Chain A
Amino acid sequence: MPEGTLCNRRPITTEEELKALLADKGGATYYKEMEELDVDTEKLWSTLQNSCKTRTRTWLEICARCGMCADSCFLYRVNKNDPKQVPAYKIQTTLGEMIRRKGQVDNAFMRHAMDVAWSQCTCCNRCSQFCPHGIDTGVMISYMRGILFSQGFVPWEMKIGSGMHRVYKAQMDVTDEDWVDTCEWMAEENEEEWPGLEIPVDKEDADIMYTLNAREPKHYPQDVAEAAILFHLAGENWTVPTSGWEQTSLAMFAGDFSECADSVKHVYSAIERLRPKRVIGTECGHAHRATVVEGPYWAGLETGLPPVEYIHYVQWLAECLREGKIKIDPAKKIKEPVTLQDSCNYVRNHGLGRYTREIISYIAEDFREMPDIKEFNWCCGGGGGFNGIGKYRKERNVGLQWKRDQILATGAKIVIAPCHNCWDAIRDLEEEYEIGIKWTFLKPLIIEMAIIPDHLKPAEDEE
């Protein structure tokens, strides 16, 4: 069969298409159509020839097939050392095979490749640290997701996610108007407790422009308020853009790299418009990866750097605590044992592990590291889009076991997870396995513990 009405090779471009896809509960019709979707083998082969070049081809060719990547993969480990979960096997039998067959593959092959790309790899890149040849299977799986996306073999939620970005310039249906309303609402809601609290919108030449994750205004507007309170406490001159505020990129998880470019350019255009001294992104891992680490390349910047200094929330927070812009009340430090989840996207892949640890040194009395830390820490179990795909929920829940056991080994009661994906995965693992832990972002913890200077406190009685 040629392309289906829902499952096809065309990305979502209109709100109607998006709504039609959303109306297909659980993607039942979508996946049925996928079983019939033809592979455009000619296009597949030409795409591979144009984009699969020296680095990737050499990786596939010189793989020593030594299996040293096996133990580095949590999905291999939690699936009882299933040899089919060895990273090298996963990529050689999918992308490697696609190339060896010069794109002559069928529907069943592509659906299998989709299962591998989205349910057997979270693109955490840990295996790249254990391969003697420095082969990064996570990078190749991510590349293959792009190939699969272009052929229409992409999980339902991922197609929706990429469509959201294309239609709303956000990962959820939050329009710029909704966003500005939320800012006003949150400022009003909290100004009694925090006199003078503002969420300055579109202020030019501020010291800081703040960008975030659409689910914060959509589902946790309190998070937006918390960010405002902390900037207020630290006395920062900051702003948020009316447009270009959404930092995340489900398009990256989906393999929709053309939308990745559009999304990041949209954020960068807000930077150009408002000329902030620097930009700070929220407590999210993949958002940082998408706008700060990979983003400059999608936007075509030869320096490989964002247009201005663009830092992660934990870098800013560490700086505030270090410089005393925000002071912690020693009596309020966390007494319970605490552990920390390192987000692959900004710790392994951007070296920020020292900032989270610095923050914890100011706020926790009993900090316990997990067995493998910083660059060598393990994926939360739900990264790379794994959390959000209903079709692979069972596999994801098995995947969570590795993090569960790591947390149990620390004896910690609180897991600090300054990343939306990690936070979700840890919430879900508590729900699934009930190990009696709490999980949290940093913002609410810091507000709870900060010393509030008198001039920022609400007046006792009005004059």
Chain B
Amino acid sequence: MENLFNILTGPCLYIAMAVFTIGLIGRFVLYFLGLDWKLDRVAYKAHMGQGLKGGVHSALKWLVPFATHGWRSQPLAAIGFFLLHIGVVLVPIFLLGHNVILQQRLGFSLPTLPQGVADALTILSLVGLAIMLLRRLLLPNVRILTTGQDYFLIVLVLIPLVTGFLAVQGFGDYKALMLCHIISGEVLLVLAPFTKLSHIALYFASRMQIGMDYAIKRGGRTRESGAFFPW
């Protein structure tokens, strides 16, 4: 058992993190290399500065809760989205337990969240995930779009969240929960670049592209807000 844990938090973890990082960086870079000014009809190179302004603004503004017309027009989706994402981004990176492993294995660690905050964020993430699942199940306009992959990804995110949380809280068989937590977490990392979880990187790519489009071609030179489209 000890051996299994060592392998899972050693070589397997390295591989998972390498696939995750290299995979997502690769997708991000390939996205921009694949853009085509003629097919997309956006003069990216000719107006790089203007484009970057609009692109970065477009990616960042949508990260602020209720900052855009889109978020304000769909408050339930916005709440579900932000609850889920704040937790699933912050907790895995800044959790004390994860950073202990980081310190042991790689000799460095990041600042950590107080356990109470991490617990609260995890619960809020679960609430967010539940809202998003309920939207899928109950709203006809979301249900019609939903595919098997969407449910699979919800489960994929749910398992490490729940098992990690239960293990920390001392419910159930600690070792079994941890085993499940580590394996599912690593599967998630490995699959991220190859599924819609690639939006971890491609969100920024796609949002930057539409921001560049509106800044360079669609009114960035004439609109009162210039390169900054009033999202």
User: Which single residue of chain B is at the shortest CB-CB distance from A353?
Assistant: B223
Known: A128-B210, A134-B209. A350 touches B222 (CB 8 A): yes
| A8-61 with Cβ < 8 A to chain B | 51, 53-55, 58-59, 61
B46 with A293: CB separation less than 8 A:
no
Query: Is B150 close to A, CB under 8 A?
Result: yes
Report the bound CA distance from A403 to B223 in whole Å: 24
Chain A CB within 10 A, most for which of B31, B146, B206: B206
* Contacting residue for A54 out of B35, B69, B203, B224, CB 8 A: B35
Measured in the bound complex, the distance between the Cα atoms of B216 and A303 in whole Å is: 10
Given the known interface contacts A136-B210, A352-B219, A375-B229, the answer about A65 and B73 at a Cβ–Cβ threshold of 8 Å is no
Interface string of B32-47 (1 = CB under 8 A from A): 0111111111110111
B98 at the interface (CB under 8 A from A): no
8 Å CB contact of B141 from A51, A62, A70: A70
A68/B36 contact (C-beta < 8 A), A58-B202, A89-B145 known: no
Asked if A53 and B34 sit within 8 Å, CB to CB, the answer is: yes
Q: How far does the alpha carbon of A133 sit from the alpha carbon of B198 in the complex, in Å? A: 12
- Tell me if A4 counts as interface (CB < 8 A to partner B): no
Is there an interface contact between A62 and B206, defined as CB atoms closer than 8 Å?
yes
Interface range on chain A (Cβ under 8 Å from partner):
35 or more
B99 at the interface (CB under 8 A from A): no
- What's the least CB distance linking A225 to chain B, in Å? 29
Given A54-B34, A134-B211, A349-B218, CB of A302 within 8 Å of CB of B46: yes
Interface residue? A129 (CB, 8 A): yes
Query: What's the Cα separation between A68 and B209 when bound, in Å?
Result: 19
Q: In the complex, are the beta carbons of B207 and A300 less than 8 A apart? A: no
B210 proximity list for chain A (CB < 8 A): 128, 134-136
Contacts of B41 in A (CB 8 A): 294, 297-298, 304
A75 to chain B, nearest CB (A): 13
If A51-B39, A132-B62, A304-B43 touch, whether A351 touches B220 (CB-CB below 8 Å) is yes
**CB pair B58 A134 closer than 8 Å:** yes
Q: How far is the CA of A62 from the CA of B42 in the complex (A)?
A: 21
**Chain B residues with Cβ under 8 A from A298's Cβ?**
41
| Interface residue A81 (Cβ < 8 Å from any Cβ of B) | yes
Q: How far is the CB of A101 from chain B (nearest CB, A)?
A: 15
A76 beta carbon closer than 8 Å to chain B: yes
Chain A proximity of B34: nearest CB distance (Å): 3
Q: How many whole Å from B1's CB to the nearest CB in chain A?
A: 39
Closest Cβ neighbor of B231 among chain A residues:
A129
Whether, in the assembled complex, A376 has its beta carbon less than 8 Å from a beta carbon of chain B, the answer is: yes
A66 touches B142 (CB 8 A): yes
- Tell me, yes or no, whether B230 is within 8 Å of chain A by CB: yes
A-to-B contact residues, CB < 8 Å: 51, 53-55, 58-59, 61-68, 70-72, 76, 81, 83-84, 86, 88-89, 92, 128-136, 293-294, 296-298, 300, 302-305, 315, 348-352, 354, 374-376
Q: When A64-B196, A66-B77, A293-B218 are in contact, do A83 and B141 touch as well, CB less than 8 Å? A: yes
Complex Cα gap A391–B215 (Å):
37
In the bound complex, what is the Cα–Cα distance between A92 and B149 (angstroms)? Answer: 14
Q: Is B165 an interface residue (CB 8 A)?
A: no
Interchain CA distance A84-B145 in the complex, whole Å = 9
Q: How far is the CA of A81 from the CA of B144 in the complex (A)?
A: 12
Report the bound CA distance from A130 to B141 in whole Å.
Answer: 15
Nearest CB of A to B4, in Å? 35
Count chain B residues whose beta carbon lies closer than 8 angstroms to a beta carbon of A. 60
In-complex Cβ contact of B142 among A58, A67, A136 (8 A): A67
CA–CA, A219 to B224, complex, Å?
36
Given A62-B196, A65-B142, A67-B139, 15 more A-B residue pairs with CB atoms under 8 Å apart are A55-B36, A63-B145, A72-B70, A132-B70, A132-B81, A133-B203, A134-B207, A135-B210, A136-B213, A294-B217, A297-B217, A302-B43, A304-B41, A315-B222, A376-B69
Complex Cα distance, B46 from A72, in Å, reads 32
A66 to B131, CA, bound (A): 12
B143 at the interface (CB under 8 A from A): yes
B140 within 8 A of A: yes
Instruction: Say whether B53 faces chain A, with CB atoms less than 8 Å apart.
Output: no
Cβ-based interface call for B22 (8 A): no
Within 8 A of A (CB), among B62-86: 62, 69-70, 73-74, 77, 81
Q: Which residue of B lies closest to A295 (CB)?
A: B41
| CB contact list, B88-136 vs A, under 8 A | 132, 135
Q: Closest A residue to B203 by CB, please name it.
A: A133
Assembled-state Cα–Cα distance A37/B144 (Å): 30
Which residues does chain B contribute within 8 Å of A81, judged by CB atoms? 140-141
**Which residues from chain B contact A51 at a C-beta distance below 8 Å?**
39
- Bound form: Cα–Cα A54–B37 in Å: 11
In the complex, what residues of A have CB within 8 A of residue B230's CB?
374-375
- Cα A376 to Cα B41 in complex, Å, equals 22
27 contacts between A and B (CB under 8 A): A51-B39, A55-B34, A55-B35, A55-B39, A65-B146, A67-B139, A67-B141, A67-B145, A70-B141, A72-B70, A81-B140, A84-B144, A86-B144, A86-B145, A133-B207, A135-B206, A297-B41, A302-B37, A302-B43, A304-B37, A304-B41, A304-B43, A304-B46, A315-B222, A351-B218, A351-B220, A375-B230
